[in-house]
Structure 1
Amino acid sequence: MRTRITLVAAAVLSVVVSVLVAVHPAQAATGFTVSNGRLYDANGNEFVMRGVSHAHTWYQTQTSSFANIKALGANTVRVVLATGDRWAKNDTADVANVVSLCKANRLICVLEAHDTTGYGEQSGAITLDRAVDYWLSVKSALVGQEKYVIVNIGNEPYGNNAATVANWATDTANAVKRLRSNGFEHTIMVDAPNWGQDWSFTMRDNAAGVFAADPLKNTVFSIHMYGVFDTAAEINDYLNRFVTAKLPIVVGEFGFNHSDGNPDEDTIMATSQSLRIGYLGWSWSGNGGGVEYLDMVTGFNPAQLTSWGERIFNGANGIKATAKEATVYGGTTSPSPSRSSSSPSPSVSVSPSRSASSSPQPAGACKVTYTVTNQWPGGFQGDVKVTNTGSTPVNGWRLAWTWPNGQVLTQAWGATYAQSGAAVTMTNESYTANIPAGGTVTFGFLSNWTGSNTAPAAFTLNGTRCA
């Protein structure tokens, strides 16, 4: 059993899941909403967080950080606030100023109360109920800002004390319900116990019940990935369980290294991108207590990116390459499903949708790139890109291949799968049905393997062999 040691909390700066039937919000949304396991902005477009945390409560004069974080490509900033119980309170005026800084820099604000960190194990940490008291005290700065603000009730609200961790589901559900009964219509983010890392799987196994307890069905779950998540298998298993159960999940904190182990940041970022899951790295600058290596820039200077800053902003599957600005600021939509603001259920934005009669494709007018993005004993994750190299669009497709080593599919996203023996057929989802001339669609999958894991030798698209 691995635990996150208490001096860590990068966040301190001292610093099975049941399949859930999609439940739609109980009333017309004024801001962010959740539907079918996905987060949507106020315009009804799917939103995937790509950003970092900023320790505002300890560095309140560093207001230029908001513009600097945006300039490096982020669409979200997670802002550390204090309730006044462990650190000096960020009052209503300060919270209003933070929201205005987010809006001025076209960032979505995830506001978190930090004083809950490690409750039950960390001296002075407060309860989630006490955190709700704080949110109620600054309510006037938040009501009306639902398009721009997500409320993260309490950072890492339990340590590793089993007796308090056992109360996570009840306490979290009660905190959500209390915010709702007091007029908060924002999307609410809730952190896992075990210093955010949920090695006990308490959040994973109780998330469906907590989500159902929210009268607005507008709760997002946040997992923090440090030393507990040091292998691809652990990362993929945890995140895919939420996606399969249609429960919204984000990686609310993670780093490239840590004193409790070496997290696999490459897999965290790659899997988040493949599954359309948000991530928020820790942290912009100002870390202390032995975790200074988690600074992304030195001394709050955006011209001095650290190796961690280079990785998360400019590396593969990093913020610069993958972030899409929220459409409430005029950002463009991503090629994922969107929905109209008048309806809480997703509606496909790609047309025409898949039909039994797919477009004929000239011989050789397609190219397939098959990549094993992660592999571990007994399993692997794959990414497939299908490019239409012809002059006419493809409207509806079936991609087929044969595996040479007995690999067995277990999950796919961006396509539906069927397998008979070694023969695999992937069929488009409605939102990946159209491949314009010269365009590309991408889907991913998980599979089991034994002995060898050789890539398929050939692919056919709608019966025609691809390059």
Structure 2
Amino acid sequence: MKRLAAALVAAAVSVLFFVAPAYAAAGLHIVGRNIVEANGQTFVMRGVNHAHAWYANRTNSIADIKAAGANTVRVVLSGGRWTANTASDVANIISLCKANKLICVLEDHDTTGYGEDGAAYTLDQAVNYWISLKSVLQGQEDYVVINIGNEPIGNTNPSQWTAATVAAVQKMRSNGFQHLLMIDAPNWGQDWQYVMRDNGQTILDADTQKNTILSIHMYAVFNQPSAITSYLDTFASKGWPLLIGEFGWQFASGEVSDETVMAEAVKRNLGYLGWSWSGNTDPILDMTTNFDASQLTTWGQRIVNGPNGLKATAKQASIYGGTTPTTPPTTPPTTPPTTPPTTPPASVGCSAAYAITGQWQNGFQGEVKVTAGSAAVKSWTVTWTYANGQAVTQAWNATVSSSGAAVTARNAGYNGSIAAGGSTTFGFLGSWSGSNTVPTLACSAT
């Protein structure tokens, strides 16, 4: 979070080494560079930060963040630097996350800028706060990630971060926490002096459960695409688990290149959590106006509806359920019928319905539902022609191509088979100007 100013300098990155963990913890855990659920399914965080510590009455934002397409929310908590969030309050937040099918990253904001900000707490004090919440955190390892301390060291003596973080991780484990732990970088989270880059292996090795992920915050230090890709390349080359725990947007030339952050995260299968839903002292970083989900700001439109944004890329954690497998056919009778069937076999066919699910200036999100006819289909193709100059710019769950105004969408490798009467959907982002009328669709199947 950028409530506290810090002088920041952009620079290049170098090399570290990571040994893949031999231990897999219960619930969410690290395998290689990935977050993996207890069932072995990889989970990629896509979400936003929510300033709960300062706006405890805005719990409706959890549902709004889910509706915006997120699969994760990072929740600001305080153990006493601000009004403390009690165990019952945290338990309620976890319940809201689960009710809205979100993974819940809980972070203690008290540590922000320690060493530079005299009001900041130590990481050891943050661990004591987590210990005070243990009764409501234990048993939630499938749903909750503990971000021990937000931006735990400022720009003054950032080298202290390594020993303090090692001690914090070890104290969490010695007190019985089995959760996935998230570790923020020093330098107000931006690591411009490369302490996390150069000492990350020490942190990962300190975790007896090998269940820690490192988190970089990307603001003005990362205002050029090259700075972003260079930093991410370093961690990729060593196989270190990493996510982008906070980032803003390029509202001015000296700010972070948010489009690069999101595109690179999607390309590399990294998680990202944008800052923040609403309530900033500098409202340029608000995604909504006064917590109103119907009033997305420019930043909100970019992260919610952008080509690499939440609605286009976030996938719900499998623990909350996913696509129901097709019921296997029952075993056919071994004795053939004595008379041939009088009903002719069903013909293969399909229908398609087009819907605009979101629209903003010059852009929109659409969804097409493909439904099989009276017989199962093995593959399908949907075509349409735009009448008003619209164009598809990105699609998911289908392979979409365009020739002028004509659009052709073919099933992906995993959703071509549809049971008789069953359906599947694919989505896309598009551009428009003037008008955005719904086209007529044609569907064919084999």
Correspondence 1:87 to 2:82? yes
- Report deviation, 1:122: 1.1
Partner of 2:272: 279
- Report deviation, 1:29: 2.9
Partner of 1:110: 105
Structure 2 counterpart of 1:72, from 68, 71, 86: 68
Distance 2:415 2:93 in 1: 45
Q: Which amino acid aligns with 2:145?
A: I
- Report deviation, 1:254: 0.4
Correspondence 1:197 to 2:193? no
TM-score, structure 2 as length reference: 0.70
- Report deviation, 1:70: 0.2
Distance 1:8 1:306 in 2: 25
Q: Which amino acid aligns with 2:182?
A: M
Correspondence 1:29 to 2:25? yes
Q: Which amino acid aligns with 1:123?
A: G
The SS at the match of 1:67 is helix
- Shift of the 258–173 alpha-carbon distance from structure 1 to 2, 3 Å rule, reads farther
Partner of 1:97: 92
Q: How does 1:353-364 map to 2 (within 5 A)?
A: none
CA contact (8 A) 1:190 1:221 kept: yes
- Report deviation, 1:17: 3.1
Partner of 1:172: 165
Pairs aligned (count) = 325
CA contact (8 A) 1:77 1:107 kept: yes
Q: Which amino acid aligns with 1:152?
A: N
- Report deviation, 1:63: 1.0
- Report deviation, 1:438: 8.9
Q: Which amino acid aligns with 1:149?
A: V
CA contact (8 A) 1:56 1:81 kept: yes
- Report deviation, 1:156: 0.4
TM-score, structure 1 as length reference: 0.67
Partner of 2:299: 308
Distance 1:109 1:259 in 2: 31
- Report deviation, 1:258: 6.8
Structure 2 counterpart of 1:19, from 17, 20, 24: 17
Q: Which amino acid aligns with 1:190?
A: I
CA contact (8 A) 2:223 2:250 kept: no
Q: How does 1:9-408 map to 2 (within 5 A)?
A: 16-25=14-23, 29-84=25-80, 86-161=81-156, 163=157, 165-257=158-250, 261-288=254-281, 291-331=282-322
- Report deviation, 1:19: 2.7
Question: Residue by residue, what CA displacement relative to the aligned partner does 1:168-198 show, whole Å, maximum 9, x if unpaired?
Answer: 1111111011000001000000000000000
Structure 1's unaligned 5+ residue stretches are 10-15, 334-391, 394-433, 440-467
Which shows bigger deviation, 233-242 or 177-186? 233-242
Distance 2:414 2:188 in 1: 46
- Report deviation, 1:61: 0.9
Question: Residue by residue, what CA displacement relative to the aligned partner does 1:82-141 show, whole Å, maximum 9, x if unpaired?
Answer: 011x20110111111110010000000000000100001112101101100100011111
The SS at the match of 2:294 is coil
Distance 2:119 2:5 in 1: 14
Distance 2:299 2:250 in 1: 9
What RMSD, in angstroms, separates the aligned Cα atoms of the two structures? Answer: 2.3
Partner of 2:382: none
Q: Which amino acid aligns with 2:38?
A: A
- Shift of the 213–17 alpha-carbon distance from structure 1 to 2, 3 Å rule, reads farther
CA contact (8 A) 1:227 1:259 kept: no
Moved runs in structure 1, 4+ residues, more than 6 A?
434-439
- Report deviation, 1:36: 1.0
- Report deviation, 1:331: 3.2
Partner of 1:462: none
- Shift of the 232–174 alpha-carbon distance from structure 1 to 2, 3 Å rule, reads same
